[in-house]
Structure 1
Amino acid sequence: MSKIALNDGVALITGAASGIGKETALALAEAGVRAIALADINEQGALEAAQESRRYAKHASYRSLAIKVDIVDEESVQTIVDTTFREFGRIDFSVNSAGMGNISGAITPNLAVDVFNKTVETNIKGTMLCVRAVAKVMADQGPLSYTSRHGTRSLGRGSIINVGSVNSHVAAPGMLSYTTSKHALIGITKSAAIDTLKSHIRVNAVCPSWVDTPMNHASLQRVPQLAQIIKAVSPLQQVATTDEVADYIVFLCSPSASYINGTSLVIDAGATLTAHVSRVT
């Protein structure tokens, strides 16, 4: 459960039908945003998540909206941004959670080019299109501010959070396509952060390792030995819960993160601190 209060603002979340995207929508509703647009290629799933978010909403005038999106299609991305702005008047928080996982365990000499192309298009182009379209809207709107014990603090014109992976920083066998795409996401994050400095837009990334999501469940089905790998590699011997990632995303949207920009946080319980991690006892 998120313990950070926002009390205002409008969010647009892609990949909102399940996993980290859905949990982020619930957490932001609970934190007090006044409206959320939940976008996903699974429109029915987005609708169900939008309805569920209302159960947790703290803002008295909370509204939610479900929209279908194909993040690799420029027109589709522009549509969700335009629709969100038309319905709610602004976009303060943009969470780019939509993407695809590692769909092939082939090592580099055996990698299929079509697998590489699909992964790159979804995770790199899709993220770029979303960041580009949202940043343009944010740059033209007035800043959002909050009042605290120290007075008024400005959040600038918006906060963009890209959902990367621990593979944004490290590599693993048989994951060339996925690792390449997630490394590129850090490049998008840093470049967009620099390009939008004068507009007072913050762009950051979160980079979790294994998380209890449908994507991870699919990986466990495809690679049964992954469960033992996770237990051996993770200091906590388990995957992260979706709220352990979503809570940090809420933090990046909040006044608490008003001085944080262009960063990426690895959320992995310390698994990548060294080449070998002993079990926590």
Structure 2
Amino acid sequence: MNDPSSPEVEVRAGCLYVVATPIGNLGDLAPRAQRVLAQVTRIAAEDTRNTATLLTHFGIRTPMLALHDHNEDRIAASVVEALQRGESLALVSDAGTPLVSDPGFSLVRAARAAGCEVIAIPGACAAVAALSIAGLPSDSFLFAGFLPPKSGARRERIQQLAREPRSVIVYESSHRIADCARDLADLLGERRVMLAREITKRFEQSVLCEARALPEWLAADPNRERGEFVLVIEAAADVDASLLEAEKVLKILMGELPAARAAKVAAALTGLRKNELYELALKISGDRGAPDA
């Protein structure tokens, strides 16, 4: 193991270091990250107990302070004041790269606004790791974070993401992955999805399949619903711009009108077929009824 006190890294006073930590395998903590964590004045950690385990493994004894979703807005100003007094600070989350579906945005924004230097110490990131093994186009992608926990909102979000012309990366938790897979199967059908679980950990596993096959794949082994999940969703095929515009019109109309009436008005406004627009209206509303006579 590299000596964390090596002079190869010289931590600068008044600087905020955003440090990526392992997402499972401790061997993924970069040597440079180790040295920065050992040399800064303090470490701002999402959960000091989790970070203490990491630091102990590497023999690092730097003092910590808690910085998480519930206190970040309140303490960001005082942390920046410490930087302005000449302290150096490392920001870490429980796992992976801070700010990527983890705390830290308010602090980095405040540090930037105050003119403090902010430096990235890169390393593990579950989203990028999953994309690299997905076998789906990676030249352009959208990271969409966690899907909504409630089914209705989740389905609406999936429908929005289904129109993305880029590969889409989302996170999901173990207690919602089965429900999420059923929604993906229902809404995306033949669209390919790569599911990765427990990336870098002992029971790491990934599969690339059609969305409609995901629920069965998960159900085949109860262990497949355990752990932390990343999903990479195949990009949408080219979508007719006129249909996208019609969808916007429909959503506005459906705020005041039933689906059938909204489709009729939208057809008159856009020139598209009423039946096609009605089917689109049903998808938007989540309804599965038959067209009005």
Compute the TM-score of the two structures, normalised by the length of structure 1: 0.36
Flag the structure with more relative contact order, 1 or 2, with Cα contacts below 8 A and sequence separation at least 6: 1
**Structure (1 or 2) with the larger CA radius of gyration:** 2
TM-score by length of 2: 0.35
